């Protein structure tokens, strides 16, 4: 199989406006309705969203997303009926520039009570914040509305909301359920994100040569993502040579040598905020791959292809595990940890482990419109190298479709 991805294969990469041909109004209506359906099904008056990913899903707005992942200061109240109130970062310029979509009735200043904002004044400011939330829920849903879902909050926030009389509901569960089934417009957004990831991986493949460092190679993916309208990359998982075993080592200043394997996981939040979560392993240089490298690669490909072939709507997660590719014993101690997980704007529910006997193994079934990643890591304890492989797939009405077009490494096949 060829290593190079052709212009024809990348025909779904837009050359004009990034949103050309996508009905964003339809996309927004679908996602907002999914959230409100979950609220009504769980008898919640509203959900208070603090996670920038959930705010993006519900309202298709963003502002300093990565920064606000660890500096809470932007939130959104979505009622079970009607339009949302967005509380944007408390700076007048942010309010002026705040994006408006048809799902948002109004944009207001957020009340930020984190220690970095107000220090010793956090307690009274937090109580003020909770009172504002209470007043807004009453404004949107009536004075008797007291069952509030919330996706995340710190201890002070939970206590302050309960002091206002709210019965709090774990809201991340509701948002994960809403996000799990993608519309046709969402799938198209994901295809475009994956097309950008394909461009980035091709840049990496073209740049790969002995003497390049891991971080220099990793920068090629970042360049492609930003240049084509993408947003950020969640991790730095790229390693070469002996650093490919064990997995989960971040890109370093190590120089890549002739004959090295290079494994990576894109974890890329691309255009429209959709995640491209694809793993590949390259072989560097002109030296022929060793028999061990070919064997590791073949096993990783076999695991992914075998498990993909099982996918179909109605298949239970536990049945999927029971029927999945049996990992050879010598690789089991360093297996990836899951054989599949959901993906959308970021990694999502479900997380499907390797053993039905795991105490946290979840129930559920695959359904059309779900997008999942099928995982493999092959590398034994004490080994000198390993292979990471991952495919992002769509569950269709009859089976599955692999969404990434980037080819496997012909030299290792």
pLDDT of residue 188: 97
- 148: Cβ–Cβ under 8 A, 6 or more apart, which residues? 44, 45, 46, 47, 48, 133, 137, 161, 166, 167, 168, 169
pLDDT of residue 83: 97
Mean pLDDT by 10 residues, the chain (413 residues): 48 54 95 98 98 97 91 95 94 72 94 93 96 98 97 95 98 98 98 97 98 98 97 97 98 98 98 98 96 98 98 98 97 96 98 93 96 98 97 98 96 92
pLDDT of residue 4: 53
pLDDT of residue 38: 98
List, in order of start, the domains of the chain with CATH numbers: 24-179 (3.40.350.10), 184-412 (3.90.230.10)
pLDDT of residue 98: 67
Q: What is the 3-state secondary structure (H, E, C) of the chain?
A: CCCCCCCCCCCCCCCCCCCCCCCHHHHHHHHHHHHHHHHHHCCCCEEEECCHHHHHHHHCCCCCHHHHHHCCCCEEEEECCCCEEEEECCCHHHHHHCCCCCCEEEEEECCCCCHHHHHHHHHHHHHHHHHHHHHHHHHHHCCCCCEEEECCCCHHHHHHHHHCCCEEEEHHHHHHHHHCCCCHHHHHHHHHHHHHHHHHHHHHHHHCCCCCEHHHHHHHHHHHHHHCCCCEECCCEEEEHHHHCCCCCECCCCECCCCCEEEEECCEECHHHCEECCEEEEECCCCCCCHHHHHHHHHHHHHHHHHHHHCCCCCEHHHHHHHCCCCCHHHHCCCCCCCEEEECCCEEEEEECCCCCCCCCCCCECCCCCEEEEEEEECCCCCCCCEEEEEEEEECCCCEEECCCCCCCHHHC
pLDDT of residue 3: 53
pLDDT of residue 11: 45
């Amino acid at each position: 199989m060829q290593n190079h991805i052709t212009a024809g294969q990348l025909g779904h990469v837009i050359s004009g406006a990034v949103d050309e041909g996508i009905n964003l109004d339809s996309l927004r209506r679908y996602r907002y309705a999914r959230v409100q359906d979950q609220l009504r099904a769980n008898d919640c008056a509203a959900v208070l969203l603090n996670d920038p990913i959930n705010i993006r899903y519900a309202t298709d707005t963003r502002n300093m997303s990565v920064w606000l992942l660890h500096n809470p200061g932007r939130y959104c109240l979505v009622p079970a009926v009607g339009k949302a109130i967005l509380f944007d970062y408390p700076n007048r310029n942010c309010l002026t520039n705040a994006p408006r979509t048809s799902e948002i009735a109004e944009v207001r200043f957020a009340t930020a009570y984190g220690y970095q904002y107000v220090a010793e004044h956090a307690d009274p400011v937090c109580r003020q914040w909770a009172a504002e939330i209470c007043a807004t829920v009453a404004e949107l849903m009536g004075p008797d509305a007291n069952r509030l879902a919330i996706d995340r909050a710190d201890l002070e926030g939970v206590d302050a909301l309960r002091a206002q009389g709210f019965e709090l509901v774990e809201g991340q569960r509701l948002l994960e359920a809403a996000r799990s089934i993608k519309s046709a417009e969402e799938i198209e957004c994901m295809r475009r994100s994956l097309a950008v990831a394909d461009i980035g991986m091709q840049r990496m493949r073209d740049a790969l040569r002995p003497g390049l460092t891991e971080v220099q190679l990793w920068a090629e993916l970042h360049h492609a993502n930003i240049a084509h309208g993408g947003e950020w990359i969640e991790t730095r998982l790229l390693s070469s040579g002996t650093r490919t075993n064990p997995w989960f080592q971040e890109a370093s200043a190590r120089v890549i040598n002739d004959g090295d394997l290079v494994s990576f996981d894109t974890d890329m939040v691309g255009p429209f905020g959709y995640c491209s979560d694809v793993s590949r392993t390259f072989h560097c240089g002109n030296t022929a791959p060793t028999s061990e490298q070919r064997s590791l690669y073949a096993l990783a490909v076999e695991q992914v292809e075998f498990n993909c072939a099982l996918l179909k709507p109605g298949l239970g997660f536990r049945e999927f595990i029971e029927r999945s590719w049996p990992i050879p014993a010598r690789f089991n101690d360093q297996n990836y940890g899951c054989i599949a997980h959901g993906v959308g704007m970021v990694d999502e529910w479900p997380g499907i482990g390797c053993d039905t006997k795991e105490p946290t193994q979840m129930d559920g079934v695959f359904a059309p419109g779900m997008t999942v990643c099928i995982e493999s890591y092959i590398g034994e304890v004490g080994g000198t190298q390993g292979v990471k492989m991952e495919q992002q797939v769509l569950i269709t009405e009859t089976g599955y479709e692999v969404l990434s077009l980037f080819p496997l490494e012909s030299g290792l096949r």
